């Protein structure tokens, strides 16, 4: 048996749900979001829920998913959206209004980034922390997506669910199956991955049932082909029968699939009033797609938004709820009051995560790839030397750098970063606040490479040891301007106009850190003049 197949069978042997049945169960008690006072004293914005009926809904259903490892926005600029703290505070404000609240998550908690440094050990710590945070927020259940299966799933589940078999959220995936394996979990009480869950009524809140399935488009993205999925339609048919037996009033399908697949599922299974599906773009649509009487919801990527679906009793037995929907961007208005931060459970969990990253010394475990200059000049020992090595020859350029925020970028991690602190030990932050972190001979840590703290010359120009040793070597000098195609090229031509091709290459360098997640208001045309340097340009042509 191959290692892959063996690993898959271990997953299913210990965790499998929906192997011979849907894996249907009532939810255990859910951790409660506190009633007043909420962690924020300011009222909700008038734009929130302004067109909703002026009465208490039967339930305000919080819908989220596709967190993609964004446990917390970076905080280096403003405004930025998202974060579990703000989601917690929104839910607390809704409870403060007297609204019954329930929450469900589609899955895809973590994702390997498409660019920048990556460390699997840190991604697993994130998975654990995010599961803890969902439990704190009162989530009874979460689905599984391709990114969760590719974590790989066994390693992620071992970080939290296997250690806390009675804890929320429960993991659901109704059509995950291996018909040859059906072992109970460590407690002997059944499987650790279920297919469906029922939230019993609480006060005036109706009985809510949720089923989670993986559609073909997502199944195709699961790398471990030893993981098998059944056709979700018979599984859902069986689940709906059990939901009816449990007198479930509000039925939700956590549908790991594309919107077009979700629309087909809504036609096939109109009993579901709500389907939460994957988003095709990072920005979610403002309103659900309505197919028949089913609300199909997308909430975007990285936890920047949550969907709030208000179910209001209609008095019509055939259609018991009228639905009203709001996509809520988790902006700065949901930040915790300063005097209430100390006891905030989300902030405490984020700080614990940050401490774990530091205590496991993950910063030094990141792999280092060769810089393009190091690749192009094989056989040469090329290293990063730090910005101070440039000062003697490049006096004016150094002065320009010292006047910029780049020259003390590392201070943002050590001094200004809060909620959580300790960002100087987090490689995902350090990469944009040091020189060469993701490259060979680049920044390691404060003790070993203090000369490579902050953002300096070599972030754009590349490792400079050869140029520093032989400043008049034309080849080595050319290495330091990777946006040029010839040594005589100039970003600014003699007439004062820019060379658009070179300027675009520089823009792309800046955008590696000043991207839409970390610096959403960044405008290259405004920031470039603040750091432009080199041969003094002539006055721009009029």
pLDDT band at 139 (very low <50, low <70, confident <90, very high): very high
| Cα–Cα nearest to 447, from 363, 352, 351, 382 | 363
pLDDT digits (tens, 9 = 90+) for 69-122: 999 888 888 889 999 999 999 999 999 999 999 999 999 999 998 878 899 999
| Cα–Cα nearest to 265, from 297, 223, 233 | 233
Cβ neighbours for 163, distance < 8 A, ≥ 6 positions apart: none
Give yes or no for residue 382 having a pLDDT over 90. yes
pLDDT band at 488 (very low <50, low <70, confident <90, very high): confident
387, 435 Cβ separation under 8 angstroms: yes
Q: What is the pLDDT of residue 90?
A: 97
| CA 491 to each of CA 291, 481, 506: distance values in angstroms, whole numbers, following the listed order | 54, 10, 9
Q: What is the DSSP letter of 424?
A: G
Give yes or no for residue 22 having a pLDDT over 90. no
Q: What is the pLDDT of residue 391?
A: 93
**Residues β-bridged to residue 275:** 253, 296
| Segment 25-34 mean pLDDT | 46
pLDDT digits (tens, 9 = 90+) for 146-157: 999 999 988 999
Q: Angle between the 259-268 and 232-245 helix axes, to the nearest 10 degrees?
A: 50
91, 62 Cβ separation under 8 angstroms: yes
Top pLDDT among 306 and 76 is at 306
Give yes or no for residue 11 having a pLDDT over 70. no
Give yes or no for residue 7 having a pLDDT over 80. no
Give yes or no for residue 10 having a pLDDT over 80. no
Cis peptide before 541 (omega within 30 of 0): no
| Cα–Cα nearest to 274, from 255, 260, 258, 261 | 255
pLDDT band at 495 (very low <50, low <70, confident <90, very high): confident
Q: What count of other Cβ atoms lies within 10 Å of the Cβ of residue 166?
A: 10
pLDDT band at 329 (very low <50, low <70, confident <90, very high): very high
pLDDT digits (tens, 9 = 90+) for 413-464: 999 999 999 999 999 999 999 999 999 999 999 999 999 999 999 999 999 9
pLDDT band at 517 (very low <50, low <70, confident <90, very high): confident
Q: What is the pLDDT of residue 287?
A: 96
Q: What is the DSSP letter of 470?
A: S
Percent of the chain with pLDDT over 70: 89
Helix boundaries (H) for 329-456: 345-359, 372-376, 395-402, 411, 427-430
pLDDT digits (tens, 9 = 90+) for 172-189: 999 998 523 332 333 334
| Segment 372-400 mean pLDDT | 95
Q: What is the pLDDT of residue 535?
A: 66
pLDDT digits (tens, 9 = 90+) for 192-229: 788 999 999 999 899 999 999 999 999 999 998 889 99
Q: What is the pLDDT of residue 178?
A: 55
Give the separation between CA 111 and CA 263, rounded to whole angstroms.
26
- Burial tier of 375 (Cβ tally within 10 Å: 0-12, 13-18, 19+): exposed
Percent of the chain with pLDDT over 90: 78
Strand order in the sheet with 274-277: 24-26, 196-199, 208-214, 250-256, 274-277, 294-297, 289-291
Domains of the chain in start order, with CATH, are 20-351 (3.60.21.10), 367-531 (no CATH)
Centroid of chain to Cα 470: 45
Per mean pLDDT, which range of 411-425, 433-447, 479-493, 523-537 is the poorest? 523-537
Give yes or no for residue 25 having a pLDDT over 60. no
Q: What is the pLDDT of residue 191?
A: 62
Indicate the pTM of the whole model: 0.90
| Cα–Cα nearest to 455, from 399, 502, 517, 513 | 513
pLDDT digits (tens, 9 = 90+) for 265-303: 999 999 999 999 999 999 999 999 999 999 999 999 999
């Amino acid at each position: 048996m191959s290692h892959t197949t063996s690993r898959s069978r271990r997953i299913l042997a210990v965790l499998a749900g929906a192997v011979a049945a849907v894996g249907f169960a009532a939810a255990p008690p859910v951790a409660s979001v506190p009633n007043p006072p909420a962690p924020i004293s300011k009222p909700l914005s008038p734009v929130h829920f302004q067109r909703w009926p002026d009465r208490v809904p039967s339930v305000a259903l919080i819908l989220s998913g596709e967190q993609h490892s964004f446990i917390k926005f970076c905080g280096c600029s403003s405004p930025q959206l998202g974060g579990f703290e703000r989601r917690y505070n929104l839910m607390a404000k809704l409870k403060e209004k007297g609204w019954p609240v329930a929450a469900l998550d589609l899955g895809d908690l973590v994702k390997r980034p498409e660019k920048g440094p990556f460390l699997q050990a840190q991604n697993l710590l994130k998975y654990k922390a995010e599961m803890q945070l969902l439990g704190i927020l009162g989530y009874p259940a979460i689905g599984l997506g391709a990114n969760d299966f590719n974590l790989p799933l066994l390693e992620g589940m071992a970080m939290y669910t296997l250690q806390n078999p009675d804890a929320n959220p429960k993991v659901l995936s109704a059509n995950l199956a291996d018909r040859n394996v059906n072992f109970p979990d460590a407690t002997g009480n059944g499987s650790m991955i279920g297919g469906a869950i029922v939230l019993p009524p609480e006060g005036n809140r109706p009985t809510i049932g949720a089923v989670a399935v993986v559609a073909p488009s997502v199944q195709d993205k699961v790398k471990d082909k030893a993981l098998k999925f059944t056709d979700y339609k018979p599984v859902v048919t069986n689940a709906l029968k059990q939901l009816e037996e449990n007198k479930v009033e509000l039925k939700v399908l956590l549908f790991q699939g594309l919107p077009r697949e979700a629309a087909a599922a809504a036609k096939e299974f109109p009993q579901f009033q709500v389907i939460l599906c994957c988003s095709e773009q990072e920005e979610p649509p403002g309103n659900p797609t309505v197919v028949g009487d089913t609300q199909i919801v997308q909430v975007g990527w990285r936890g920047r938004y949550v969907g709030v679906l208000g179910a209001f009793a209609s008095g019509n037995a055939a259609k018991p709820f009228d639905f009203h929907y709001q996509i809520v961007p988790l902006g700065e208005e949901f930040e915790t009051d300063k005097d209430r931060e100390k006891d905030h459970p989300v902030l405490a969990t984020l700080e614990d995560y940050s401490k774990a990253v530091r205590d496991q010394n993950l910063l030094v475990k990141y792999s280092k790839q060769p810089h393009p200059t190091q690749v192009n000049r094989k056989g040469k020992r090329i290293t990063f030397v730090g910005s101070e090595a440039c000062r003697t020859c490049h006096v004016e350029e150094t002065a320009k750098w010292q006047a910029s925020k780049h020259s003390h970028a590392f201070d943002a991690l050590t001094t200004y970063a809060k909620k959580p602190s300790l960002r100087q030990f987090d490689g995902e932050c350090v990469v944009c606040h040091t020189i060469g972190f993701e490259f060979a001979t680049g920044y390691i840590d404060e003790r070993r490479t203090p000369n490579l703290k902050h953002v300096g010359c070599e972030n754009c120009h590349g490792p400079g040891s050869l140029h520093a040793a032989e400043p008049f070597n034309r080849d080595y000098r050319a290495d330091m301007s990777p946006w040029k195609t010839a040594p005589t090229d100039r970003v600014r031509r003699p007439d004062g106009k820019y060379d658009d091709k070179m300027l675009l290459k520089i823009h792309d360098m800046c955008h590696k850190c000043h991207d839409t997640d970390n610096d959403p208001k960044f405008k290259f045309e405004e920031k470039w003049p603040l750091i432009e340097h080199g041969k003094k340009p002539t006055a721009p042509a009029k």
